Amino acid sequence: MKLRVAVAVVLVLSGIVVLAQTASKSFNANGVSFDYPDSWTIYDDSNSDAQQVTLARPKNDVQIRVFVHKGKITPEKFPDAKKAFIDPYIASTVKQFEAMGAKPQQSADTAEIGGAKADGVKVAANLGEPGAAKIYWVLLGQRVVILTIFGPDREIKEFAPAWDMVRSSFKVEDKSTPKPSPKP
């Protein structure tokens, strides 16, 4: 009997944790949309060149950053865009870790963003505890998208469901294809 009660309590508590992790909000601006957990705070630092959004949790060090360039890029020009803003962003991240006294190590990585395969890099460093910046980029809706999750390894692992929610729900509206007008 005690075992049944214990199992029931564990199942109820597990259900509460799942519900707490799945409650979400949506970000939707300028053709960019994604879902994120409602326990996260969103900071919008967008400007005329790019949408820049940071998601963070109070009392945690993990952050998710979203960068979407507002200019249209064709697949043929994507390598140039990588040289123009992705490579400098990675180099800047490495320099930030070095400035804090870490010895960052880079390794190639991949992820899926909005259903598309994204190339990426993991910049691992130890700043008192192991951590990383995981940076992924892809062309969606003719716009350069860069998603980054960074923080201590233990928090990146703990908040993986939030990261998965953001990147799997990510959409960029492609305004280059005219929508058919309704026929009378």
- For residue 3, being part of any structural domain is answered with no
Q: Is residue 32 part of a domain?
A: yes
Q: Is residue 184 part of a domain?
A: no
Domain holding 43, by residue range, is 24-172
In a domain, 180, yes or no: no
115-150 pLDDT tens trace: 999 999 999 999 889 999 999 999 999 999 999 999
The confidence score (pLDDT) of residue 148 equals: 98
State pTM to two decimals: 0.82
2, part of any domain: no
Nearest to 75 by CA among 169, 168, 141: 141
Instruction: Report the number of distinct structural domains present in the chain.
Output: 1
Q: Which residues pair with 150 in a beta bridge?
A: 63, 133
* The pLDDT of residue 22: 61
CB 132: neighbour CB atoms within 10 A?
Answer: 23
177 occurs within a structural domain:
no
Q: Which residues pair with 33 in a beta bridge?
A: 28, 171
In a domain, 1, yes or no: no
Q: First vs last Cα of the chain: how many Å apart? A: 69
Q: How many CA atoms lie within 13 A of 178 on its CB side?
A: 3
CA atoms of 67 and 90, how far apart (whole Å): 13
Q: Is 18 among the domain residues?
A: no
Local mean pLDDT, 10-residue blocks, the chain (184 residues)? 44 44 85 95 93 95 96 94 94 95 95 97 94 96 96 96 97 70 57
Non-local (6+) Cβ contacts of 116 within 8 A are: 138, 139, 140
- Residues 6 or more apart from 36 whose CB is under 8 A from it? 24, 25, 26, 27, 42, 55, 64, 162, 165, 166
pLDDT score, position 8? 42
CATH number at residue 81: 3.40.1000.10
Residue 137: count of CB within 10 angstroms of its CB:
24
Question: What's the CA dihedral at 27, 33, 34, 38 to 10 degrees?
Answer: 10
Fill in the DSSP letter of residue 52: E
